[in-house]
Amino acid sequence: MSKLEWATYNNEQVGYTVQYPTAFTLQNNSNGRDLILRHNGFPVIAINYTTREEAVSRDLWAGYEPAGDIELAGKAGKKYIYKHYDGPFYMRTFSYVIEHNNRFLALEFRIKNDSVDSLQQHILQSFSMAQ
């Protein structure tokens, strides 16, 4: 089995960096704020920088009750567990949400497990905000 290789993504517009496996492909949204990471074409991670209203309209975390408190990039926030629908299909989603510059920044994992795995934990721990 080959060793997992990591790359670093830096979003200067929003002000965060995150490590991700090089086997993932990146898809930036046209607004320059949002990012989807895909593995074998499947969206496995999303990073969304939105207002609460936009998150509700996109059926993201904001329409759900928080599952608990978290810390992401040294900032206190909330964890949400919900089903994100994309057409007739849904993806179970763990969303780690913090406030950043009067908006919300969410690191979201589309998962099948009951908790994040070691790869997702590495991504969570690598997530940092510009100083």
Single-letter residue type at 108: E
Is the Cβ–Cβ distance between 50 and 58 less than 8 Å?
yes
Closest CA to 94 of 105, 84, 104: 84
What pLDDT does residue 91 have?
81
Domain 6-129 has CATH 3.40.1000.10: yes
pLDDT tens digits for range 92-112: 899 999 999 999 999 999 888
Which structure tokens are listed for 124? 């969570």
pLDDT tens digits for range 34-90: 999 999 988 899 999 999 999 999 889 998 999 999 999 999 999 999 988 777 777
What pLDDT does residue 2 have?
59
pTM of the model: 0.91
Residue 123 has pLDDT above 80, yes or no: yes
What pLDDT does residue 76 have?
97
Sequence-ordered list of residues with C-beta below 8 angstroms from that of 101, at least 6 positions apart, any chain: 15
Domain boundaries, the chain: 6-129
Is the pLDDT higher at 2 or at 17?
Answer: 17
What pLDDT does residue 131 have?
66
- Specify the DSSP class assigned to residue 9: E
Residue 10 has pLDDT above 90, yes or no: yes
Question: Residue 56 phi/psi, 5° resolution?
Answer: -65, -45
What pLDDT does residue 1 have?
45
Is the pLDDT higher at 48 or at 28?
Answer: 48
